[in-house]
């Protein structure tokens, strides 16, 4: 199962305009934000992340609702988080 997981934008990478650091349930990863270049992203914004790409900006309330739902899935959510922990975009 493939899931889009909410992450909070916690940093921009000066050397790569299309990369940012997001915190996804305590796991920090660099993700590509190029698809949202016209969104005017700021620190603290929430994005929906899938396979290393921020696909859309979402509200904090929507992020929390999705996280609550994903936690309820149990093993599929844990599998997705394990995959995230083992990945990185350099």
What would the pLDDT profile of 50-80 be if each residue is shown by its tens digit?
A: 888 999 999 999 999 988 888 787 787 777 7
Quick one: pLDDT band at residue 82, thresholds 50, 70, 90?
A: confident
Whether 24 has a pLDDT exceeding 70, the answer reads: yes
Tell the CATH topology of 5-85: SH3 type barrels. (2.30.30)
Whole-number pLDDT of residue 73: 78
Which residue in 40, 26, 3 sits closest to 12, CA to CA? 40
- The Cα–Cα gap between 42 and 78 comes to 28
In the chain, what are the domain boundaries? 5-85
> What is the mean pLDDT of the segment spanning 18-24?
94
Whole-number pLDDT of residue 90: 56
């Amino acid at each position: 199962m493939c899931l889009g997981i909410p992450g909070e934008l916690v940093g921009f990478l000066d050397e790569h305009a299309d990369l940012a650091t997001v915190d996804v349930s305590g796991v920090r990863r660099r993700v590509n934000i190029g698809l949202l270049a016209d969104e005017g992203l700021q620190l603290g914004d929430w994005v929906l992340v899938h396979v290393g790409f921020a696909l859309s900006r979402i509200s904090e309330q929507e992020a929390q609702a999705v996280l609550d739902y994903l936690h309820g899935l149990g093993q599929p959510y844990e599998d997705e988080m394990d995959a995230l922990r083992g990945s990185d975009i350099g």
